[in-house]
């Protein structure tokens, strides 16, 4: 960071990330109504990321997935949405939170089936490695030279 | 964790941590009006901690401090407070956030000078080592056999 970061900011005033998704189609369309404001980056944080994320009606947080080595945590701020894990469906409302421990293999995502935006904080650490899995979709992810490369589950490219 | 953790919880319903402070007196008194609800622990997270923290009027988040290796982040949820860093004083109000990058040596804490509770989320990772410093107070911290031991700055015990 070439400039000294601010001491504090209004989170909603941080510009949304320009990149909408890393997924290949048809999966990118599922998160098209998702905006991420990368709050941790504002302050130069590198050990974990904090996003203020908004899901428009119909949008998903991600494909349902698990991480091998990175913990994740979400805190609901505004609106309502459905958290889907191996356990089933759980309603999220403001003031509720959920955590997704690395390595359990229990996949999760959040789907906004309501008619209003759902806004939440999402936190994830940046422990390297460990892999990610998408049990519901024909998607695999490998890291090649530090870059994400998505494939079909049989390894063939999208 | 012997029992399977819940999928999601209402953060304010998580019991507050019984331990009020690790500080020796006279410093423990400064944080006596502070409650921490350890949200990450509910889900067995270990790579970072997430607390829902409440500062009663007059309470502080901590002594003003820096970490050598751990990033920290706060998100204000309710009430108002004063963030104090080397830059000076910054007002925090709901929807504002601040981050404290490891290793900068810029110390921070939050002081509630208002007449109402201040409630916020605080996140910190658990990268080992790196030390912590308290520029405003006669306090030093060393880790002995994995346990925190506070001393005067000259190394003598409290």
Using the predicted structure, report yes or no on whether residue B81 has a pLDDT greater than 70: yes
**Residues within 8 A of B (CB atoms), A 84-113 only:** 85, 87, 90, 92, 95-102
Query: How far, in whole angstroms, is CA A139 from its chain's centroid?
Result: 16
Most A-contacting residue of B123, B128, B129 (CB-CB within 10 A), to test interface:
B123
Give the single-character DSSP code of A156.
Answer: -
A37-55 tens-digit pLDDT: 999 999 999 999 999 999 9
pLDDT for B158 equals 86
Q: Once rounded to an integer, what is the mean pLDDT over residues A87-109?
A: 97
ipTM, two decimals, is 0.95
At B85, is the secondary structure helix, strand, or coil?
A: strand
Q: How far apart are CA A141 and CA A68, in angstroms?
A: 12
pLDDT for residue A2: 57
pLDDT band at A143 (very low <50, low <70, confident <90, very high): confident
Which of the four pLDDT bands, split at 50, 70 and 90, describes residue A146? confident
- Kindly determine whether residue B47 and residue A12, on different chains, have CB atoms separated by under 8 Å: no
Tell me the pLDDT band of A158, cut-offs 50, 70 and 90: confident
- Tell me: pLDDT of B93 over 60: yes
Percent of chain B at pLDDT > 90 equals 87
Using alpha carbons, select from A50, A44, A58, A34 the residue that is nearest to residue A119. Answer: A34
Pairwise CA distance, residues A28 & A24, whole Å: 6
Query: Which residues on B lie below 8 Å from A7 (Cβ)?
Result: 83, 85, 87, 90, 98
Q: Which residues pair with A38 in a beta bridge?
A: A51
B70 closest CB neighbour out of A39, A47, A123? A47
Do B34 and B56 touch, CB atoms closer than 8 A?
Answer: yes
Q: Quick check: A103 and A130 in contact, CB under 8 A?
A: yes
For B5-22, the DSSP string reads: PPS-EEGGGSPPPS---S
pLDDT band at A147 (very low <50, low <70, confident <90, very high): confident
Place A106 in a pLDDT band, splitting at 50, 70 and 90.
very high
The pLDDT score that the predictor gives to residue A148 is 82
Average of pLDDT values for B26-48?
Answer: 97
pLDDT tens digits, B131-147: 899 999 999 988 778 78
Average pLDDT over residues A9-16: 98
Residue B61: what pLDDT? 98
Contact list, A96 vs chain B (CB under 8 Å)? 8-11
- The pLDDT score that the predictor gives to residue B75 is 98
Cα–Cα dist B113/B110, whole Å? 9
Average pLDDT, chain B: 95
A98·B8 Cβ contact <8 A: yes
For residue B99, which residues of chain A lie inside 8 Å, CB to CB? 5, 39-40, 42-45, 50
Whole-model pTM? Answer: 0.96
Q: What mean pLDDT value characterizes chain A?
A: 95
| Per-residue pLDDT at B144 | 78
Quote the tokens at residue B117.
């509770």
């Amino acid at each position: 960071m070439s400039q000294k970061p601010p001491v504090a900011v209004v989170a909603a005033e941080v510009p949304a990330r320009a990149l909408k998704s890393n997924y290949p189609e048809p999966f990118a369309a599922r998160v098209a109504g998702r905006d991420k404001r990368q709050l941790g980056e504002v302050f130069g944080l590198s050990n974990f990321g904090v996003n203020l994320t908004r899901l428009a009606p119909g949008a998903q947080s991600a494909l349902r997935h698990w991480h091998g080595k990175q913990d994740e945590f979400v805190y609901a701020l505004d609106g309502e949405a459905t958290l889907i894990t191996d356990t089933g469906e759980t309603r999220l409302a403001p003031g509720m939170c959920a955590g997704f421990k690395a390595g359990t293999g229990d996949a999760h995502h959040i789907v906004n089936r309501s008619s209003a935006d759902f806004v939440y904080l999402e936190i994830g650490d940046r422990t390297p490695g460990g892999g990610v899995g998408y049990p519901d979709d024909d998607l695999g992810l490998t890291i090649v030279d530090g870059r994400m490369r998505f494939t079909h589950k049989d390894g063939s490219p999208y």
